[in-house]
Structure 1
Amino acid sequence: MSGIVVLSGDPHPDSRTARLATGIGTSTAQLIGARPPEVIDLAEYGYRLLVPEAEEVSRAIENVRDADLLVIATPTYNGTFSGVLKVFLDCFPSDGLAGRPALSVVVSATPGRAEVAEGHLHALLAEMGATTPGPGLAVAEDQLVQPDVLITGYLDRVRGALGVPAH
């Protein structure tokens, strides 16, 4: 196992989605006493995502497959998760995340759209065998002005599912 792995499926490098997911991964690591997360920002891979045998992509697949906990984040595109994230996850077999706990994070223009897309991502992760320790986080873009408050509130909701007692 390789600890916490943050997987950002935003097609734009260093996006708000990636920063939010990294914040969740970092705060979760602090909460459970783990080392800082490894961050995989799929925007940095470009066309190489279409070549699963590419060394960088193969390494990312291995790291995701070996993670103790995944934080998988995406913006909403056309009512669901991003194509970049889907292309990457399609590199795995149907049960390729079997037994991997995964927190899902979805950012959208409106809360309703974020919740719908989070449901799609949640279903995909379940189809791939991942477990979901608690609810996903569906966030409207206007909520990103105070990410620390958002992260703290979310982790308070999932801490029991992560095996961390209430404080």
Structure 2
Amino acid sequence: MSVLLIAGSPSEHSRSSTLLSGVARRLHDQVDDRRLRVERLQIRDLSPQALLLADWGNSSVLRAIEQVAHARALVVATPVYKAAYSGVLKVFLDLLPQTALKGKVVLPIATGGSPHHMLALDYALRPVLQSLGARHILPGVYASDSQIPKDADGEYQPGEEIQTRLDDAVSILLHEGLHWPVTPVFAPVPFAQAQYSV
């Protein structure tokens, strides 16, 4: 079983890619790599000419489409520009077959300049994912720029609220989306050993 992390930012270092890396860390922390393969697809690394000219025969595009086909779940991260997901992500989604997401679970993630762009997840990205046949689109995670400031080293660092929301999103992805078994926190206690008072 595999999860494909799709980075839809045109920038190498971005807030949305930082959130995607946070999802990857959480997946690796919770599940053994041998049981769940986590792969990453940077759309910006695909051939720009092939993307713009809809060249399905291009080798980088073919590999990316195959990655989508083999994944059980997708995490799609994008910056929001002008109330919509990135153009880089748009041209890639346009290249996918109409049923490319059939039977798949999708977790959408977006970042934007202000909280006003939050609805782009529901009004711009979600309908496209549904049109591609996604089985289950999980509640998304949206973060504004102020919630992912840069640290002293100039690296983006999600704030505590966003960290908590990523924890919840990954838990939902694993346990509700992929039906991953919940690891018990403590051993079960037989009823005969239970003590109670009235």
TM-score using structure 1 length: 0.85
As a proportion of its length, which structure holds more helix? 1
Q: Secondary structure at the match of 1:159?
A: helix
What is the alpha-carbon distance in structure 2 between the residues aligned to residue 148 and residue 142 of structure 1? 9
Q: CA 1:37 to 1:152, structure 2 compared with 1: closer, same or farther past 3 Å? A: farther
Q: Post-superposition shift, 1:18?
A: 1.5
Q: Post-superposition shift, 1:71?
A: 0.7
The amino acid that maps onto 1:79 is: A
Q: Secondary structure at the match of 1:73?
A: strand
Q: Which sections of structure 2, spanning at least 5 residues, go unmatched?
A: 150-156, 186-198
1:79 has 2:89 as partner? no
Q: CA 1:15 to 1:124, structure 2 compared with 1: closer, same or farther past 3 Å? A: same
What is the alpha-carbon distance in structure 1 between the residues aligned to residue 37 and residue 93 of structure 2? 23
Report Cα offsets for 1:102-121 as digits up to 9, x if no partner.
Answer: 110011011220x2211121
Tell me the residue number matched to 1:47: 49
**Match runs of 1:21-60 below 5 Å:** 21-34=20-33, 35=36, 37-45=38-46, 46-50=48-52, 51-60=55-64
Query: Percent identity between the aligned chains?
Result: 31
What is the alpha-carbon distance in structure 2 between the residues aligned to residue 82 and residue 56 of structure 1? 19
The amino acid that maps onto 2:51 is: L
Q: CA 1:36 to 1:94, structure 2 compared with 1: closer, same or farther past 3 Å? A: closer
What is the alpha-carbon distance in structure 2 between the residues aligned to residue 71 and residue 161 of structure 1? 9
1:147 has 2:158 as partner? yes
Q: Which sections of structure 1, spanning at least 5 residues, go unmatched?
A: none
Count of aligned positions: 165
What is the alpha-carbon distance in structure 2 between the residues aligned to residue 157 and residue 86 of structure 1? 23
What is the alpha-carbon distance in structure 2 between the residues aligned to residue 94 and residue 17 of structure 1? 26
Report Cα offsets for 1:29-77 as digits up to 9, x if no partner.
Answer: 4324445621111112232323221111110111012112211011011
What is the alpha-carbon distance in structure 1 between the residues aligned to residue 82 and residue 147 of structure 2? 20
What is the alpha-carbon distance in structure 1 between the residues aligned to residue 158 and residue 32 of structure 2? 21
Question: Larger Rg: 1 or 2?
Answer: 2
* Match 2:125 to one of 121, 126, 132: 121
**Match runs of 1:79-118 below 5 Å:** 79-113=83-117, 115-118=118-121
* Match 2:66 to one of 58, 62, 66: 62
CA RMSD in angstroms comes to 2.3
The amino acid that maps onto 2:62 is: S
Q: Post-superposition shift, 1:15?
A: 2.2
TM-score using structure 2 length: 0.73
CA contact (8 A) 2:141 2:169 kept: no
Report Cα offsets for 1:78-122 as digits up to 9, x if no partner.
Answer: 211111101101111222110111110011011220x22111212
What is the alpha-carbon distance in structure 1 between the residues aligned to residue 173 and residue 3 of structure 2? 15
The amino acid that maps onto 2:174 is: L
